[in-house]
A = this chain, B = another copy of it.
C-alpha cells in the first residue's frame, strides 16, 4: 500500500504550480503586449473559432475549452466582435443561439500572435528543463488533472 505524501510536499507542489503559472503567463503577456498584440486569452478564443471553419461554432461549445464562465465568454466575444476579429451570425435552427466566425483580420492577428506565443513559451521552458524532464512534468500534470 502506498504512503501519503507529506503535506509539505503538496504545498511545495502547489506554490510551485502558482509561481510557474504566473511566471510563464507574465512572460507571454509581456511579449504579446510588446508587439502590440492582444492578450493571451484572445488567442485561444480566436484559435478555437478559426478551427471551426466555415461551419462556425456556438458560444456554449467554447465554454469548456476556454475555461471561462458563461458571462466571461459572452463578454470576451463582445470585445472580439468590437475589435472586428469575430462575426456573430444568426443560428439556423436555434433562435437563441449564434454562430461565431473568424474574420480575415481575426485570422491575421491570430497568426501574428502564434510565433510570439510559441517562442516565448518554448524558450522559457527549454531554458530550464531537458526534453525528458518536460515530458515527465507534462505526464505528471496530466495525472494531477485526473
Contact = CB atoms under 8 A, between A and B. Distances in A.
A131 B1 CA distance: 11
A3 B143 contact: no
Number of copies: 2
A18 to B, nearest CB: 7
Contact of A145 (B19, B138, B141, B142): B19
B19 A131 contact: no
Given A5-B126, A122-B10, A16 B135 contact: no
A142 B129 CA distance: 10
A145 B3 CA distance: 27
25 contacts: A2-B130, A2-B132, A5-B131, A5-B134, A5-B135, A10-B125, A10-B134, A12-B138, A12-B142, A13-B137, A13-B138, A14-B24, A14-B125, A17-B17, A17-B24, A20-B141, A21-B21, A23-B145, A127-B146, A128-B145, A128-B146, A129-B143, A136-B140, A137-B141, A137-B144
Please provide the 3 A-B residue pairs with the shortest distance between their CB atoms, ordered closest to farther.
A16-B141, A5-B134, A5-B131
